[in-house]
């Protein structure tokens, strides 16, 4: 999520959102097409919420996390969408021009 945001949103601060990936999607759904697509799919929203919860549970030693085949396929589909968006963003990226861009 954040790598797509960094390449597509000028001034994006990846630290602002921590590990709350659904917040990144929601905050930028109007300007990043892949985020809009992801935000409109209830099953993807649920997956992103589960991934965030799972991250914190594992990080603090409270649990281990596993997913069924259907959820894994959804995760892979989302990852493929994000990779395609990242490739496009990298291919079309225009670095800021300090003479004309204010930030």
For the entire predicted model, the pTM comes to 0.76
**CA angle at 35 for the pair 31 and 86, rounded to the nearest 5°:** 90
Q: What are phi and psi of 71, to 5 degrees?
A: -65, -40
Which pLDDT score is estimated for 52? 86
As to burial, measured by CB atoms within 10 angstroms (0-12 exposed, 13-18 middle, 19+ buried), residue 13 is exposed
Q: Which pLDDT belongs to residue 62?
A: 75
pLDDT, tens only, 14-66: 888 888 889 999 999 999 999 999 999 999 999 999 888 887 778 777 777 78
Structure confidence at residue 102 (pLDDT): 58
Q: How far apart are CA 103 and CA 100, in angstroms?
A: 9
pLDDT of residue 100: 67
Distance (Å, whole) CA 25 – CA 35: 5
Domain definitions of the chain by residue range = 2-92
């Amino acid at each position: 999520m954040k790598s797509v945001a960094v390449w597509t949103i000028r001034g994006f601060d990846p630290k602002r959102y921590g590990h709350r990936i659904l917040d990144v999607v929601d905050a930028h759904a109007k300007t990043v097409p892949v985020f809009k697509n992801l935000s409109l799919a209830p099953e993807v929203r649920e997956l992103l919420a589960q991934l965030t919860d799972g991250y914190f549970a594992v990080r603090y030693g409270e649990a281990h996390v596993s997913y069924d085949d259907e959820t894994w396929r959804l995760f892979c589909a989302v990852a493929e969408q994000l990779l395609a968006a990242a490739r496009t963003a990298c291919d079309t990226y225009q670095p800021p021009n300090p003479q004309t861009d204010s930030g």
